[in-house]
Amino acid sequence: MSGQSAFTTAVLHADRPVPVGLIDPKGRPAGKRFDVYRNNVVISLRKALETGFPVLRKLVGDDFFAAMAELYVRNPPPTSPLLMHYGRDIPAFLEHFPYAAHLPYLPDVARLELALRHSYHAADIAPIAPENLALDEATLARATLTLAPAMALLRSRYPVASLWHANTDQPNLKVPDRGENVLITRPEYDPVVQILPAGGGVFVEALQQGHSIQHAAERASAAIANFDLAGVLGMLIAGHAITGVTIG
Instruction: Summarize pLDDT for 37-91 with one digit per residue, the tens.
Output: 455 566 777 888 999 999 999 999 999 999 998 888 877 665 655 566 778 999 9
For residue 45, what pLDDT is reported? 79
35 vs 236, more confident: 236
Question: How deeply is 20 buried, as exposed, middle or buried, from its count of CB atoms within 10 A (0-12, 13-18, 19+)?
Answer: exposed
Of the candidates 233, 199, 232, the residue with the CA atom closest to the CA atom of residue 218: 199
Bridge partner residues of 145 (DSSP) = 245
- Whole-angstrom distance, CA of residue 195 vs CA of residue 173: 14
CB 16 within 8 A of CB 10: yes
Q: For residue 15, report the phi and psi dihedrals to the nearest 5 degrees.
A: -85, -5
The domains located in the chain, with CATH, are: 1-103 (no CATH), 123-248 (3.90.930)
Q: What pLDDT was estimated at residue 135? A: 85
| Helical packing angle, 31-52 and 106-121, nearest 10° | 90
For the ranges 60-74, 77-91, 174-188, 219-233, the lowest mean pLDDT is seen at 77-91
Which one-letter amino acid corresponds to residue 50?
Answer: E
Residue spans of beta strands (DSSP E) within the chain: 143-147, 152-156, 180-185, 192-195, 242-247
